[in-house]
Chains A and B, each alone.
Chain A
Amino acid sequence: MVPYIVRRLVVLVGMLFALSLITYILFYAVPTDPASLSCGVHCTPEAVAANRHRLGLDDPFYIQYWNWVKAIFLGRDFGTGYVAMHCDVPCFGFSWNRQMMVTDVITSVMPVTIYLAIGAFVVWMTVGIFTGILAARYKGSIFDRGVMAITLVGFSLPSFFIGLVILIFFVVRWQIVPYPNYVPPTEDFGKFFMCMLLPWITLAILYAAYYTRLTRSQMLDTMNEDYIRTARAKGLPEKVVIRKHAFRAGLTPIVTSAGLDFAGLLGGAIITEKIFGLTGLGSVAIKAVENLDLSILVAITLLGGVFVVVANLIVDILYAAIDPRVRVK
C-alpha cells in the first residue's frame, strides 16, 4: 500500500507541475496587458513600462514562470524602494486590481468555499445515498417512482434557478431564514448555520438527485448478483445484506464521483456563491475574470486543479480500502 501511495504522490507532483505550466501559459498568452490594467485611467507609456518592470513582465516568459514557481516556495519581493512589497510563502503574486497579495485574497475567502462545499457534500451524500438505497430496496413502489420523479426535476433545474427561487421565497417573502450574511462558525455557529443552510440546500438539490439515481442503480445491479442471493440464503438479515454486501460493492463508483464533485466544489461554487452573496473562491474568480486579474485567475485555476488531483489520489486510496481486489500486492 505504501509504495502505491508513494508512486501516486510522485505522479501527482508531476501533474501539478504540468498543470501549473499549462495554466500559466494559457493565462499569460491572452491578449491583455496587466501592466496597463494596473495603471489607472490617465496612463502614460512610461507608467506602463514602469509597471511592467515592477511586475517582472519585461522578463522572458520562462523567467517569469520560474520566478512565479519559485515564489510559491520562497516568497518574492515586488518593486524596489518606496513601492517595494514582500510576498510571503506561498506567494502566488500580487493582485494590482485588489491591491492585495493573491495568497491573502485566497486565504481570506477560502473558508467560505470550504464550509460551503463540506456542508453541501454532507447533505447531498446523506440524502442521496439514503433515498437511493430505499428506492432500490423498494423498487417499483410508489416511493421509488416518486423519488425518481423528484430527482429528475432536481437534476433538471439549474442551480441559479433553484438558488434564486429559494432566496426570494424563503428569505425575502416568507422570511423563514435571514438573508445569508456570512459569519465564521467560530464566531457564532448559529448564525453561521442559518447563513449556510440555503446555499447548502441549493447545491445539495442538484447533487442529491444525481447521487440518489446513482446509488439506486448501483444497488440494483449488485442486488441481482449471486453472492447476494447466497447471503440471503444463509439467513442474514436484509439490513446486513444491504449494508455489508450490496451497498459496499456498489460504493466504488459513488466514491469516485463524490471525490471529484467535492473537489470541483472546493474550486468554487460560482453560481451559488454569487446568488447568496457569499464571497468565496467562486465569487473572487468571477470578479477576476471581469477585471482580467490574471494573477488571481492563475492561482484559483491551479488551486482547483490541485483539489481535483488530490481528490483523485484520495479516491484511489479509498478504492483499495473499499475493494480488496484493487489493492496493489
Chain B
Amino acid sequence: MKKSALTRLGVGTASVALLLTAVVGNTTSSTAAGTRGGTLYVLTQGDDILHLDPQRNYTGEDMAFASAFLTRTLTQYTYNANPAKASTVIGDGATTAGTKMNGGKDWKFPIRKGMKWEDGSTVLCSEFKYGISRTFATDVIFDGPTYAISYLDIPAGDYDSGSAYPGPYTATPAEQALFNAAVQCTGKPATGEFLTIHLNQVVADFSGATTLPEFAAVKPSADTGTTYDHHLLSNGPYKIDSYVSGDHLRLVRNTNWASATDATRPAYPDVVEYDFNITPQVVTERLMADNGADSTAVSPDGIYPTYLGDVMAAGSAYSTRKIVGFDPYVSYTAINTSHITSLAKRKAIMASWPRATLRTLSGGDYAGSFADGVIKPSMGADYKPTNIWGYNTFKTTHHAAVAAVVAKKVGSVYKCGTVVRSAGYVCTAAVPAYDTVVTTPHPGALGYVVPDNGSCAVAQQILADGNITDPGSLTYDYSDKGSMITAQASAAIKAALECAGFTVTLHGIASGYYSKVLNPATQGDLSNAGWGPDWANASTVIPPLFQLGNSFDLSRYDNQAFQDKITAAMANTNRGTQAKQWQQLNADAMAAGLAVPKLFTTIQRLQGSDVKNAYIWGPYGSYPYAQLAVN
C-alpha cells in the first residue's frame, strides 16, 4: 500500500485513547456544535485529489474528505476526538453496521430509506450493488482497494482481477449471474431494502471493510467510467459546483440531501472550497497569519518544516490552533525472503539499520517514534511491544568510600573516575561521591541489544554466529523523486549495511514504484514501504503484508507454520483472542526478519482560528471533515 496514496486507520483502546487525547489540541465529541454558514477552505500543495470516484478512492485524506461531503458508504466510523470511540463502526447508507450470518460468511445490511442523489432520485440498494461491482472492472477502475474481489463469493477466473467476473461493463449474463449470486438485494425501496453479501470466507469484521468507499453506491446512469472522478453524482450533503484540476474543487450544498437520514454530517459550512497547488511554505504562512478568509482554512498538509518549531513550541501563539496525533502509518523496509533466505543475514540487516539517522532526516521528534513492528500502538489491543531491539537496564552504584581519596584537578574541577585512578591519581574528600553504572543488556528477538542507530558490530556478530563470512550483495529499492533527504537516507542505509559486510546497490525508482516492487520479477532484496490499516483490525495489516501472494506481500515468506497462523487468525471470530494472535504474529514476523520497522509516524496540523471542531480523527489520521464548522 502506498504510504501517501492508499490506506487508513488508527484505532484505539483506552490506553491509546488516553495517549492521543493528551496530545490533541482541540477535542470535541460526535455531537460537536457549530453554526451553519460560511466557507471552509482546504489549502494544499497537492495539485489534485487523487480520486473522488468511490471505487478508486484509497487515500486516507481523500476518503475522509469525500465520505464527509459527497459519498455515503454502507457503514462509517464515529466522529469523535477519542480514537477508541472513533473506531466504532456504525451504519451510514445502511441503518446498522450489518448483521453477521452464517458465522460471519454472510452479511446483511438494511439500506437506509429516504437517501437521495443530487438529481433528486432515491438511492437504491441496486446502486450499492452496482458500485461494489465496479471494483471488478480493473481495467477501468484501478487504484482502489480490492476487498470486494478478495472476499466476495465469486469463483476465481482468468480476468485481470483474478476473478471470473469482469465487472459490470463487459460481463456476459452468465458472468453477471455470478456477481448477482454473491451480492443480493431484497425488499422494496418503499418498505425497506436489504443488501446481502455472501463471502468466500468468514470475515468477522466485514463491517469495517464496508466503511471503505469501495462499498459505496454509484448510480449506473451517471457512471462515466474512468472520468467519474470529475463527474461524481453526490448523495452526501454537498455536490460539486466546479472542479478544475490543479486549481480548485468547490462544493455547494446538495439541496436534495435529506438531513433527516444523516445524523453524523451536520453540514455546517455553506461552501467547501479545496484550493490546490499552493506553495508549501505559503500554506503554512497563511495558516499562521490567520488573516481574512484564511481564518476558516485547514490543510491536510503537514506544517512546513521551517515553522514546525515555532508552531509546536509550548505556549506559542498557535497553541490553540495546532493539533497533533498519530497518523495511520508505519514506515518499514520489507526484506524479500525469497532472495535472502538466511535468517542470520536478515537479522544482520535489521541490526545494522540506521534508524536514528533516518528518523532525524524525517524530522526527528516530529516524525514519530521508533517502531518495533508493523502494528502501531494506535491499533489498541492488536498491539503489544515486540522487544525486537532489546534494551539495557542500568544500575548505579554509589561508592562512598571513594569519596575519601584524591582526584585529579582539571581546571577548577576535581574529577574522579576509572581513567583518573588508572593514571595513578586517587580521589579526595573534596570530590563528590563516585558512582559507577552497571549496564545489564536484555537482548531482543535479534539476540542482542540493538541501539537506535543500528550497530555494525552487532550485525557482524550475528553474521559470525551464523557462520557467514561473506554476506554477499543486496539491492535496496526506494522511491526516488530526486529529493536530497531521500539521497541522504539511502546513502546512510548503504553505508550502514556495507559496514556490516554487505555489498549494496541502491535502486532508486523514479516512477511507478509500487508497481515495480510488487512485481516479483523486478523487486529487489530490500524494499522501502509504508502501510496503514484499512480498518480497526490488524487483519488489514498482517495478512496484506505477510500472507503469501496477498496484495502488499513484499516479504514473500514461504513458511507454512507462519502462514497457517495467519489463516487461523483470519478465521477467528473472537476479537479478544484474535488480537493476541496478531500480537504474536507481529512479533514472529520481526523475529523471522521479514521487515525492518522504522517509525510509528505522527502528524501535526494547524488551522485557522475560526475553524471549529478540529482534531485528528483516528480512523483516517485526518480532520473530521464532516464535523468542521466555521465562524
Residue of chain B at shortest CB distance from A82? B169
Contact B282 A287 (CB under 8 A): no
Q: What's the minimum C-beta distance from B511 to chain A, rounded to whole angstroms?
A: 5
Residues on A with beta carbons closer than 8 Å to the beta carbon of B519: 43
Q: What's the minimum C-beta distance from B152 to chain A, rounded to whole angstroms?
A: 17
Contact B160 A82 (CB under 8 A): no
Contact B291 A275 (CB under 8 A): no
A141: CB under 8 A from chain B? no
Q: What's the minimum C-beta distance from B557 to chain A, rounded to whole angstroms?
A: 19
**Total number of B residues with any Cβ neighbor in A under 8 Å:** 46
Q: What's the minimum C-beta distance from A279 to chain B, rounded to whole angstroms?
A: 4
Q: What's the minimum C-beta distance from A37 to chain B, rounded to whole angstroms?
A: 6
Residue of chain A at shortest CB distance from B292? A175
Contact B279 A41 (CB under 8 A): no
Pick the residue among A39, A179, A181, A277 that contacts B515 (CB under 8 A): A39
Q: How would residues 206 to 234 of chain A score, 1 for a CB under 8 Å from any chain B CB and 0 otherwise?
A: 00000000000000000000000000000
Contact A42 B289 (CB under 8 A): no
Contact residues of A between 32 and 84, Cβ < 8 Å to B: 32-33, 36-37, 39-44, 46-47, 50-51, 81-83
A314: CB under 8 A from chain B? no
B15: CB under 8 A from chain A? no
Contact A172 B512 (CB under 8 A): no
Task: Contacts A82-B225, A167-B279, A292-B511 given; indicate if A41 touches B518 (C-beta within 8 A).
Answer: yes
Residues on A with beta carbons closer than 8 Å to the beta carbon of B551: 42
Contact residues of B between 124 and 143, Cβ < 8 Å to A: 138-140, 142-143
Residues on A with beta carbons closer than 8 Å to the beta carbon of B2: 41
Q: How many angstroms from the CA of A1 to the CA of B146 in the assembled complex?
A: 67
B594: CB under 8 A from chain A? no
A290: CB under 8 A from chain B? yes
A98: CB under 8 A from chain B? yes
Contact A47 B282 (CB under 8 A): no
Contact B481 A109 (CB under 8 A): no
Q: How would residues 262 to 291 of chain A score, 1 for a CB under 8 Å from any chain B CB and 0 otherwise?
A: 000000000000110111000110010011
A186: CB under 8 A from chain B? no
Q: How would residues 41 to 84 of chain B score, 1 for a CB under 8 Å from any chain A CB and 0 otherwise?
A: 00000010000000000000000000000000000000000000
B186: CB under 8 A from chain A? no
Q: How would residues 504 to 532 of chain B score, 1 for a CB under 8 Å from any chain A CB and 0 otherwise?
A: 00000011101100110000000000000
B281: CB under 8 A from chain A? yes
- Report the stretch among B21-29, B86-94, B98-106, B244-252 that lies at the interface: B244-252
Task: Contacts A46-B160, A109-B246 given; indicate if A279 touches B225 (C-beta within 8 A).
Answer: no
A99: CB under 8 A from chain B? yes
Q: What's the minimum C-beta distance from A172 to chain B, rounded to whole angstroms?
A: 5
Contact residues of B between 260 and 315, Cβ < 8 Å to A: 275-279, 281-282, 285-286, 289, 291-292, 294
Residues on B with beta carbons closer than 8 Å to the beta carbon of A287: 47, 246
Contact residues of B between 191 and 232, Cβ < 8 Å to A: 225-227, 229-230
Pick the residue among B246, B282, B289 that contacts A283 (CB under 8 A): B246
Pick the residue among A41, A178, A277, A290 that contacts B278 (CB under 8 A): A277
Q: How many angstroms from the CA of A98 to the CA of B510 in the assembled complex?
A: 19
Q: How many angstroms from the CA of A199 to the CA of B244 in the assembled complex?
A: 20
A164: CB under 8 A from chain B? yes
Q: What's the minimum C-beta distance from B209 to chain A, rounded to whole angstroms?
A: 17
A173: CB under 8 A from chain B? yes
Pick the residue among B47, B143, B294 that contacts A40 (CB under 8 A): B143
Q: What's the minimum C-beta distance from B550 to chain A, rounded to whole angstroms?
A: 11
Pick the residue among A47, A274, A291 that contacts B279 (CB under 8 A): A274
Q: What's the minimum C-beta distance from A49 to chain B, rounded to whole angstroms?
A: 10
B170: CB under 8 A from chain A? yes
Residue of chain B at shortest CB distance from A178? B292
Q: What's the minimum C-beta distance from A130 to chain B, rounded to whole angstroms?
A: 32
A100: CB under 8 A from chain B? yes
Residues on B with beta carbons closer than 8 Å to the beta carbon of A182: 247
Pick the residue among A36, A50, A168, A279 that contacts B247 (CB under 8 A): A279
Q: How many angstroms from the CA of A242 to the CA of B28 in the assembled complex?
A: 72
Contact B518 A32 (CB under 8 A): no
Q: How many angstroms from the CA of A50 to the CA of B142 in the assembled complex?
A: 14
Q: How many angstroms from the CA of A44 to the CA of B519 in the assembled complex?
A: 8
Q: How many angstroms from the CA of A179 to the CA of B289 in the assembled complex?
A: 12
Residue of chain A at shortest CB distance from B278? A277
A108: CB under 8 A from chain B? yes
Residues on B with beta carbons closer than 8 Å to the beta carbon of A51: 139
Task: Contacts A50-B139, A164-B279 given; indicate if A37 touches B512 (C-beta within 8 A).
Answer: yes
Pick the residue among B160, B170, B229 that contacts A44 (CB under 8 A): B160
B590: CB under 8 A from chain A? no
Q: How many angstroms from the CA of A43 to the CA of B2 in the assembled complex?
A: 14
Contact A175 B291 (CB under 8 A): yes
Contact A83 B246 (CB under 8 A): no
Task: Contacts A36-B512, A164-B281 given; indicate if A41 touches B286 (C-beta within 8 A).
Answer: no
B6: CB under 8 A from chain A? yes
Residue of chain B at shortest CB distance from A40? B142
Contact residues of B between 402 and 432, Cβ < 8 Å to A: none
Task: Contacts A98-B245, A172-B282, A279-B244 given; indicate if A290 touches B481 (C-beta within 8 A).
Answer: yes
Contact residues of A between 148 and 170, Cβ < 8 Å to B: 164, 167-168
Residues on B with beta carbons closer than 8 Å to the beta carbon of A164: 279, 281-282
Contact B170 A179 (CB under 8 A): no
Q: How many angstroms from the CA of A173 to the CA of B282 in the assembled complex?
A: 11
Pick the residue among A32, A105, A279 that contacts B277 (CB under 8 A): A279
Residues on A with beta carbons closer than 8 Å to the beta carbon of B6: 41
Contact B146 A167 (CB under 8 A): no
Task: Contacts A82-B225, A287-B47 given; indicate if A181 touches B275 (C-beta within 8 A).
Answer: yes
Pick the residue among B170, B277, B281, B286 that contacts A81 (CB under 8 A): B170
Contact B279 A277 (CB under 8 A): yes
Contact B515 A41 (CB under 8 A): yes
Residue of chain A at shortest CB distance from B45? A277
Q: How many angstroms from the CA of A182 to the CA of B624 in the assembled complex?
A: 28
A sample of 13 more A-B contacts (CB under 8 A), given A43-B519, A100-B230, A278-B277, is A32-B512, A40-B142, A41-B5, A42-B142, A43-B515, A51-B139, A81-B170, A82-B140, A99-B226, A99-B230, A172-B291, A275-B282, A277-B277
Q: A-B pairs with the 4 shortest C-beta distances? A: A40-B142, A279-B246, A279-B247, A82-B169
Chain B interface (Cβ within 8 Å of chain A)?
Answer: 1-2, 5-6, 47, 138-140, 142-143, 146, 160, 169-170, 225-227, 229-230, 244-248, 275-279, 281-282, 285-286, 289, 291-292, 294, 481, 510-512, 514-515, 518-519, 551
